[in-house]
Amino acid sequence: MWHAALAVVSATGAGLAACAPVPATSSAAASAFAAVETLPAGELAALMAAGDVVVIDVRTPAEFAESRLPGALNAPLGTFDPASIPIEAERETILYCGSSRRSGIAATALSEYLGTTVRHLEGGIQAWNDAGLETISGTPAQ
């Protein structure tokens, strides 16, 4: 997918440069469309209950096994590849981590890759636990 890049030639608006194709995954095109937002635990819980989201945990496999959101998939930040994240037309992909620092980094990378807004859990699993919401533990079946 290609997006056109348009540049103003002069401050007076006297002329415009010709449009040139820029790959959607380039930083120039992606930054024009990319954004990262947070959502609170209660909103994520409602989306999960409705089956409207794919939840991605970007913590380490050990943290993931210790405690995670039900149905979450693990894509650790240390090896995070935006191209490997499942994107579905019908469901939004939401990221989370322990506190929202790592998920913010991953959300930025995914947003730039997709050229669209990506949301992550505000406060991470810590906020989820503080809200008294369910977590599960153990190594998931392969």
pTM: 0.76
Name the catalytic one among 97, 109, 121, 127: 97
Q: What is the pLDDT of residue 140?
A: 76
How many domains does the chain divide into?
1
- Distance separating alpha carbons of residues 63 and 71, to the nearest angstrom: 15
Higher model confidence: residue 7 or residue 60? Answer: 60
19 in active site: no
- Distance separating alpha carbons of residues 49 and 87, to the nearest angstrom: 19
User: Is 138 among the domain residues?
Assistant: no
Q: Give the domain CATH number at 49.
A: 3.40.250.10
- Distance separating alpha carbons of residues 19 and 81, to the nearest angstrom: 30
User: Is 16 among the domain residues?
Assistant: no
Owning domain of residue 54: 24-130
User: Is 7 among the domain residues?
Assistant: no
Identify the residue whose tokens are 């820029």: 22
Percentage, residues of the chain above pLDDT 70: 75
User: Is 122 among the domain residues?
Assistant: yes
For 37-85, the pLDDT digits (tens) are 999 999 999 999 999 999 999 999 999 999 999 999 999 999 999 999 9
Q: What is the pLDDT of residue 31?
A: 54
- Amino acid (1-letter code) at residue 84: S
User: Is 136 among the domain residues?
Assistant: no
